[in-house]
Structure 1
Amino acid sequence: MGGAEGEVKHEELVIVGAGICGLATALALHRKGIRSIVLERSESLRSSGVAIGILPNGWRALHQLNVASILRQTASPILGIKDIWLHKNKQQDMPFISGEARCLKRSDLIDTLYNALPPDTVKFGHQIISVKLDPQTNYPMVQLEDGSFIAAKVLIGCDGAKSTVADFLELKPTKLFDLCAIRGLTNYPNGHPFAHEFVRMRRDNVSVGRTPIDSKLVYWYVAHPRMQADNIASVDTELIRQYTTNLVHGFPKEIVEMVRNGDLDALCSTRIRYRAPWDLLLGNFRKGTVTVAGDAMHVMGPFLGQGGSAGLEDSIVLARSLARTMSTTPTDPTIVIEALDRYVKERRMRIVQLSTQTYLTGLLITESTSLLVKFACIVLMFILFRNAIGQTKYDCGTL
């Protein structure tokens, strides 16, 4: 835990949040010889959760972090994409991604990033409640729940969609799609029968996605319009399973059994949040020597499978920008501000493009979207994103 109330500790570089982006940013900085600490509110590593798809642009970032070879051992490659419309009796093989794509257990990714860091980088049980600027130095001051403070020369918020650091930057609040997603893992002790491809099935207003992680473990999700019952189901995993089993009634038998046999500990139900593309275009991502990365900066729907990969890209670009200055003049705030501005400038249009494509895709699959709006989305997608998988070709560069 933190220190005594009112006590002030001083650190060079502080990262808030030991999720994927927070750990990746700390590791990228470590690879560049810059020490940081990561403040994590939980008492232990939050390696729980479900799974995350990493597409070619994400693997390029993982290669720069020097952990790609380790993670390849934990997940099989995805070799194809298939869309199935059950109510129309229609099937379509989608254009496949050129490059590496795998679905990782979130815990494997978190554990691998954490184990690559120097000991004691992550400070557990440190929940921040506010950020302010020191009136004398203009450096950020983080107040912890126990009343103590940490003064940092650089503060990076990687604290997720409900980010305290983003609130300090006065970013617009995240918005909600009228969609819920239930995610789960199912283990097949004798091996599953599925091909190593991402399969998406639709029936009426329910969508089921399925991707094998390895020869025995399968990740799946069920997306559906939000209903009042979701508030009840979201707090009890047994209720989530019952509710999800009802949602997939009428789907093929193997889908129903996959949901029914899912690991209760991995089940979760969430509303889908996003930052609006226009807020990302106009938002202020730096104040003093404070910035954000990952979901704190650009949380987006899961429709393109790019949220995690975009956060990994952030970590590389941010560490590269800071390393140009902090290794030589770590105490000059003007130089640090210039580095953070370079990072924001490099990332802004990339995340605006990603979030716009994700936003338009989300509107298209949301039941409550009017036909006129859907038509406008189709036109914009055709004009702006004729190559639906073009975002996976992005290369964030070297550390």
Structure 2
Amino acid sequence: MDRAIFEDLDVVIVGGGICGLATALALHRKGMKSIVMERSEALRATGGGIGIPANGWRALDELGVASKLRLNAILLEKVRDIFLNGSKRQEELTSFSNIGEVRCVKRSDLIEALAQDLPLGTIRFGCQILSVKLDTNSCFTILHLNNGNTIRAKVLIGCDGANSVVGDFLELKPKKLHSSCAVRGFTYFPNGHGFAHELVRARRDNTLFGMAPVTDNLACWFVVHQWHLQDSKVFKDQEIIKQMTLESIKGFPSEKIQLVKNCDISTLTLTHLRYRAPWDILLGQFRRGTVTVAGDSMHVMAPFVGQGGSSGIEDAVVLARCMTRKSIQANNDPKEFKGQKLIEEAMDEYVKERRMRLVKLSTQAYLIGSLLDTSSSLLKLIFFVLLGAFFRDQFGHARYNCGHL
């Protein structure tokens, strides 16, 4: 039997998803070493497409991976909103020209691009964190792993998603559920699809359909609908997911239905939409000792503003900048980031800089999600009024710049 190992590490990142890898890469670009603990046995290079608006591309440029991703992602020129009401159809067209770069990429391409630029050995696979505790002797944190090993971390960054063990350590308020679920998938066109370079969003009652080309031969799409699912096995049965999706979009334009009919069934995913309430982000304590969170662990939100992934990449840039800036101010080599108080100050700066940005994003996503959730005409009117009052520029969030690394 292998003996359990006790190890001291400077910076530990829990979770090897988009935000975890982006955080590790941001720190690496600034000369700081980190270790990413990923519970799966390989990169989680699965899932559907992910929309990246202009702010996300600015952050990816700072990380040095944007150029390779652009090679396999069409530049979208506009968004076409279609409102279906019985036999009536209304369209609105909005140009992206004054917003900036918007593209949809394969999530696997993004994950792999981030991982490829990390030093060998940065990611440790098959490492599931069972618990996080405070070391009363050093004031750093003790991580207990599923393999029996123990790690003491000077800096701990939770990027382990909505069900974050690090978030539990910080005693964050539990996430909430929308009444809607989302299906995402890809459809391949060997001879080309011929779609316009635009994001299309079609709404009918409480169902939302979205589609965008990724390349000339690939399109990604999603459907948001109020499925009331009793059997958890449905989430893993892709044939049932496809049939449920087709049933939910009856009455939509035929080309949308064909997109789902012809999809690559192996790419289908079904998720229940979750969010951290805007008021919990406003009031949440996102730092305890030398522990903080980023990405979905901090601000999981439904995909209605398309900022879930990009906001996590912004987190990575800002956190790395704050940590190295504090280190340089103290005349230390960034590779030797020492001092608990210094780390805490850096994390407090990071949380302060990110908080109001995330409150605004989560509020906009929450209002749009609530609009889809409710069947009450009065509540719909209230949500419309609030969106019009606070988010008249519906794509204003894409103009944000998180700054240089």
TM range (shorter): over 0.9
CA deviation vs aligned residue, 1:284-325 (integer Å, no higher than 9, x gap): 100000000000000001000011110010000000011123
Equivalent residue runs for 1:37-52 within 5 Å: 37-52=35-50
Q: Which residue of 2 aligns with 1:83?
A: 81
Q: Are residue 172 (structure 1) and residue 178 (structure 2) matched?
A: no
Q: Distance in 2 between matches of 1:364 and 1:95?
A: 24
- The letter for the 1-side match of 2:92 is Q
TM-score normalised by L of structure 1: 0.96
Equivalent residue runs for 1:251-262 within 5 Å: 251-262=252-263
Structure 2 residue ranges without an equivalent (≥5) = 328-333
- From 384, 390, 400, give the equivalent of 1:394: 400
Q: Distance in 2 between matches of 1:348 and 1:377?
A: 23
Structure 1 residue ranges without an equivalent (≥5) = none
CA deviation vs aligned residue, 1:26-79 (integer Å, no higher than 9, x gap): 000000000001000000111011110000000000000011111100111111
Compute the displacement of 1:231 (Å).
4.0
Compute the displacement of 1:4 (Å).
5.1
- The letter for the 2-side match of 1:19 is G
Q: Distance in 2 between matches of 1:352 and 1:297?
A: 11
CA deviation vs aligned residue, 1:65-121 (integer Å, no higher than 9, x gap): 011111100111111101112333211113535210000000000000000111111
Q: Distance in 1 between matches of 2:81 and 2:388?
A: 19
Q: Does the residue aligned with 2:303 lie in a helix, a strand or coil?
A: coil
Q: Which residue of 1 aligns with 2:224?
A: 223
Q: Does the residue aligned with 2:236 lie in a helix, a strand or coil?
A: coil
Compute the displacement of 1:252 (Å).
2.3
Q: Which residue of 2 aligns with 1:30?
A: 28
Q: Distance in 2 between matches of 1:138 and 1:43?
A: 31
Q: Distance in 1 between matches of 2:345 and 2:78?
A: 43
Q: Distance in 2 between matches of 1:117 and 1:94?
A: 38
| Alpha-carbon spacing, 1:385–1:314, altered in 2? closer, same or farther (3 Å) | same
Compute the displacement of 1:330 (Å).
2.0
| Alpha-carbon spacing, 1:179–1:309, altered in 2? closer, same or farther (3 Å) | same
- From 379, 384, 393, give the equivalent of 1:373: 379
Deviates more, 1:265-274 or 1:222-231: 222-231
TM-score normalised by L of structure 2: 0.94
| Alpha-carbon spacing, 1:336–1:187, altered in 2? closer, same or farther (3 Å) | same
When the two structures are aligned, how many residues end up with a matched partner? Answer: 396
Q: Does the residue aligned with 2:194 lie in a helix, a strand or coil?
A: coil
Q: Which residue of 1 aligns with 2:369?
A: 362
Q: Which residue of 2 aligns with 1:68?
A: 66
Q: Distance in 2 between matches of 1:299 and 1:353?
A: 13
CA deviation vs aligned residue, 1:322-359 (integer Å, no higher than 9, x gap): 11234286221011100000000000111011101111
Q: Which residue of 2 aligns with 1:14?
A: 12
Equivalent residue runs for 1:192-207 within 5 Å: 192-207=193-208
Q: Which residue of 1 aligns with 2:330?
A: none
- From 336, 343, 347, give the equivalent of 1:336: 343
Q: Which residue of 1 aligns with 2:126?
A: 125
Counterpart contact for 1:173–1:275, Cα < 8 Å: yes
